[in-house]
Amino acid sequence: MSTTDRSKFPLVVIVGSGFGGLEVARRLENKPVEVLMLDKHNYHTFQPLLYQVALGSLESESIAFSLRKNFGGQANLNFRIAEVHKVNAEKNTIDTTIGEIAYDYLVIATGSTTNFFGDKDIEHYAMPMKSIPEALNLRYLIFQNLEAAVLKKIKEEREPYLTFVLVGAGPTGVELAGAIAEFRNYVMEKDYPELKKDHVKIYLADFQPRVLATMSEQASKAAGDYLRKLGVELLLNAKVERYDGNEIEFEGGKVIKTKNVIWSAGVMGVIPGGINKDVIERGNRIRTDNICRVVGFDNIFAIGDVGAMITDKTPKGHPGVAQVAIQMGDNVGKNIIHIIKGETTEPFKYNDKGSLATIGRNKAVADLGKVKFQGFFAWLIWIFVHLFSLLGTRNKFIVFLNWMANYVNYNGGSRLIIRRFVRGDVKNNAEEVTKGDA
Ligand SMILES: Cc1cc2nc3c(=O)[nH]c(=O)nc-3n(C[C@H](O)[C@H](O)[C@H](O)COP(=O)(O)OP(=O)(O)OC[C@H]3O[C@@H](n4cnc5c(N)ncnc54)[C@H](O)[C@@H]3O)c2cc1C
C-alpha cells in the first residue's frame, strides 16, 4: 500500500519528527522529491522543557507543536501518524501500523529512549522522562505522593513520599533537581500548609565524581554549588544497586526509603526492526558513514540520537543533543538532493555551539566554546535559546508569560492531577509507559 500518491519524483520517507526529522523535511521543501513524514504522535516534542511539565509549571501543550500545522504549507509533504516496526531493506519498504510503505530514500530519525541497563525492577518502579506522557506521569506521581504524605501522621510513614532521588546528574537530572528544590523551598507550603520544607529530601545521584560530567569542570562546580545552596544533597561516585518501589540501595550499602525515584541515567537509540545487528553500536545506535548513511546501504540514513557516526574524533558517535540532530538533518536533506542530481555529497561536520543547563529560576551554567560563564547572565542566555528554539509563536508567548509570572510570584503553573497515575495501567497512563502499582 502507498499512503501518498507516487509522483515522478523520488519518495523520501522520514521516520520520526523530532529535531532531526523536522530539519530533513525543511531542507526538502520545494525540492524535486515527494516527502512522507511518519511519527507515532501527531506532535513534535520540545524535550528540553519536559521537566517543567513534570513540575506542573508549564502545560504540556506549550512544549508540543502540531505536525500537520507545521507542515501545512509544504506542498511536497504528507504526514501520517504511524509507528514503524520494521525496515525491509532488500525490497525498499517499511512495515508500519498503517501498512507497508515503499520508499526511494529512508531517513531513520527515531531518537532515543530511557536505558535502564537491563534492570527490570528499576524499569518497573523508577520514573523515566523522555516524552510528554512520561513527564505527565511523573507530575501525577509527585503530586499524588504529596497528597498521600498529607494523610500520614507518623514521620517514618510520611518520609518516603517526600523523598526524591534523581539518578543521573546530566542536564536533565540537574534541571529537575533544581526545579523540585525550588518547588519545595517556595511553593509547597502554599499548596500544602500541612507539610514543612524540611520534611522534603532531594538527592541527586550519579556514579561519576561530578554533576554535568560532559560539561567543563567550572560548569560542574558552579552547578554543584547552586544545587547545594538550594538544599539538594549530591551523591557522587554512587552506583545504584537496586530499587523496589520503597527503598533504593547504592553500592556500599547506603539505603534511602523513597517512593519517588526519577531515572535519567542513560539513553539508548530506538531502532525499528530489520536493521542488521552488525551496524548496531553501543547505546543501540546505528553506525553510519560520514554522510549519515547507514553502513552497507545506499539509500538509508540514520540521524540524531539514533545515529552513530564513528570516527577518530568521535569514537562513541556524537553527543545526544538537539544541535547534532538538527545539523545531521540539514546535512542529510542537502545530500539526498545531491545524490539525486548526481552531485558530490558534503561530509557531515558538527559545529558545536556549546552547552547550557539551568539550575532553578535565575541561575544557569554555560560552556560556549572557550567562553564559560555561570549565573544570571547564563540564565538569560538559556531563556533566550529555549524560547527561540520552541516551535510556534503561541508556545513561545505562553512559555514566556509563564516564566515571567513564576519569576515575579514564585508560584506559576497549575500542578493539576488530570488523571490518576497508576503503575501498570497502560490504558490510562499512555502508550509507552507500562508500570506496576503506584
Ligand atoms: C528531558 C530531556 C532534556 C533534554 N535537554 C536538552 C537540552 O537542553 N539541549 C539539547 O541539546 N538536548 C537536550 N535533550 C536531548 C535532545 O532532546 C535530543 O538529543 C533530541 O531530541 C534528539 O533528536 P532526534 O530527532 O534524534 O529524536 P527525537 O527528538 O527524540 O524525536 C524522535 C521522534 O521519533 C518518533 N518515533 C520514535 N520511534 C518511532 C517509530 N518506530 N515510528 C514512528 N515514529 C517514531 C518519536 O515519536 C519522536 O517524535 C534533552 C532530552 C531530554 C529527554
Q: What is the pLDDT of residue 428?
A: 54
Q: Is the CB of 109 under 6 A from ligand 1?
A: yes
Instruction: For residue 371, name the pLDDT band (cuts at 50, 70, 90).
Output: very high
DSSP 340-389: HHTPPP---------EEEE-SSS-EEEEETTEEEEEHHHHHHHHHHHHHH
Whether the pTM exceeds 0.85: the reply is yes
Q: Per-residue b/e over 233-256, b at no fewer than 16 CB within 10 Å?
A: ebbbebebeebebeebebeeeeeb
pLDDT digits (tens, 9 = 90+) for 214-234: 999 999 999 999 999 999 999
Residue 294 class from Cβ within 10 Å (0-12 exposed, 13-18 middle, 19+ buried)?
buried
Query: Bridge-partner residues for 102, per DSSP?
Result: 93
pLDDT digits (tens, 9 = 90+) for 228-252: 999 999 999 999 999 999 999 999 9
For a ligand 1 pocket test, name from 13, 15, 19 the mutation site with the most ligand atoms within 8 angstroms of its C-beta. Answer: 19
CA distances from 339 to 138, 309, 359 (A): 45, 19, 45
Ligand 1 centroid to 17 CA: how many Å?
9
What's the N-to-C CA distance of the chain in angstroms? 42
Dihedral angle over CA of 377, 378, 380, 384, nearest 10: 140
Q: What is the pLDDT of residue 1?
A: 41
Q: Is the CB of 23 under 6 A from ligand 1?
A: no
Q: Which helix (H) or strand (E) holds 339?
A: helix 322-341
Q: Whose CA is nearest to atom 4 of ligand 1?
A: 48
Query: Bridge-partner residues for 35, per DSSP?
Result: 12, 77
Q: What is the pLDDT of residue 405?
A: 86
> Which atom of ligand 1 is nearest the CA belonging to 131?
53
Q: Whose CA is nearest to atom 37 of ligand 1?
A: 110
Ligand 1 centroid to 322 CA: how many Å?
7
Query: Bridge-partner residues for 166, per DSSP?
Result: 204, 262
Q: What are phi and psi of 101, to 5 degrees?
A: -130, 130
For a ligand 1 pocket test, name from 321, 350, 386, 431 the mutation site with the most ligand atoms within 8 angstroms of its C-beta. Answer: 321
* Res. 346: pLDDT tops 80: yes
* Nearest partner of 274 among 114, 106, 434, judged by Cα: 106
Q: Per-residue b/e over 102-131, b at no fewer than 16 CB within 10 Å?
A: bbbbbbbbbbbbbbbeeeeebbbbbbbbbb
pLDDT digits (tens, 9 = 90+) for 181-206: 999 999 999 999 999 999 999 999 99
Q: Which three cell numbers stand for residue 399?
A: 512559555
Dihedral angle over CA of 183, 185, 186, 187, nearest 10: 40
Catalytic residues: 175
Ligand 1 centroid to 334 CA: how many Å?
21
26, 37 Cβ separation under 8 angstroms: no
Q: Is the CB of 70 under 6 A from ligand 1?
A: no
* Nearest partner of 48 among 326, 397, 321, 265, judged by Cα: 321
Q: Is the CB of 48 under 6 A from ligand 1?
A: yes
* Res. 288: pLDDT tops 60: yes
Q: Which residues contact 114 (CB under 8 A, 6 or more apart)?
A: 128, 129, 130, 263, 264, 266, 267, 268
Task: Indicate the average pLDDT of the chain.
Answer: 93
110, 16 Cβ separation under 8 angstroms: yes
| Spatial separation of the C-alpha atoms in residues 118 and 110, rounded to whole Å | 21
The residue assigned the cell 547552586 is 226
* Res. 6: pLDDT tops 70: no
Dihedral angle over CA of 396, 265, 320, 310, nearest 10: 180
